[in-house]
Chain A
Amino acid sequence: MNWKKFFIAFIAAFVFIFIFEWIFHGIVLKETYAALPPGLMRPAEEFMKHFFHWLVLGQLVFVFFFTMIFASFAGGGGAGAGARYGILVALLGFGANLIQFAVHPLTTRVLGFWGIGGLIELAIAGAIIGAIYKPSSHTTT
């Protein structure tokens, strides 16, 4: 494993995912979330004051292992292979979203946006990782 390339890919993907999710969930879906049944989401103030660090930590953990899987098993292939890998992980995540929809009082609108957003997000994140963690970077260990 080329750790230098790995960490560059990890940080680049994390920055993208942090910004994408802020725009997507914090701005685009703000009104959609507000229309969900009361009590299903934490109040904005409570989230910002006491739980925001869990969101950032969760994103760090997710992106670290998302990058780790690609680098340790499939490192190489460039942006295209990374995007394909990201789409497969997004499909896996959407499967989990379908289960969430069945058990939580979410709306089909939320489910649809999560599916489309997740696909775009992880395809791009995968492409970023694939573009940085290229086959030529395997020369060092």
Chain B
Amino acid sequence: MKRFIVAFLAAYIFIFFWGWLLNGVLLKDVYAQTPNLWRSQSEMMSLFHWIIIGQALVVFAFVMIYASGFAGGGVIAGIRLGILLEIAAIGMRMGFYAVQPFPGNLIVYGSVGGLIEMIIVGAIVGAIIVGAIVGAIYKPGAPSFPPGPS
């Protein structure tokens, strides 16, 4: 349980800062090109707690999925899970692109940013990488899902 909480906190801190860097700094000008799709700055700040809760839920679910069936593989399994989940998320982004008037470059940048996030997981084992952090910290003895051949 202690390792679970540490894995959750470490992953959460990374995602929070990565989200701020990617969306709040790097893509700021791209977002500014489509003001009709976004809440005003002041409105977003008043709803900021939902971002905190949302990120916490994402990290909690990631850690739970990893701990439920994939933890035996260590860091490599964490990296692999992160990449596979990110590619699935790209599929969801394509769905949003179909129904909302997002510019194509925003979808590409967001997807590349998400993938980089998880590729770094594989390159840097440590405090700033979600998948690697989870893989390195949380290694329970037995998965609750029967592990299958990979």
Contact = CB atoms under 8 A, between A and B. Distances in A.
Contacts of B103: none
Nearest to A55: B98
Given A73-B81, A74-B145, A54 B61 contact: no
B47 A42 contact: no
A117 interface: no
Interface SS of A by simple majority: helix
Interface SS of B by simple majority: helix
B37 A40 contact: yes
B69 A58 contact: no
Interface residues of B, number: 52
Interface of A: 1, 25, 37, 39-42, 47, 51-55, 57-66, 68-69, 71-77, 81, 84-85, 88-89, 91-99, 101-105, 133, 135, 138, 141
Given A42-B100, A75-B148, A98-B54, 12 more contacts: A42-B101, A53-B98, A54-B94, A58-B93, A61-B90, A72-B84, A85-B65, A85-B68, A92-B58, A98-B51, A104-B39, A135-B146
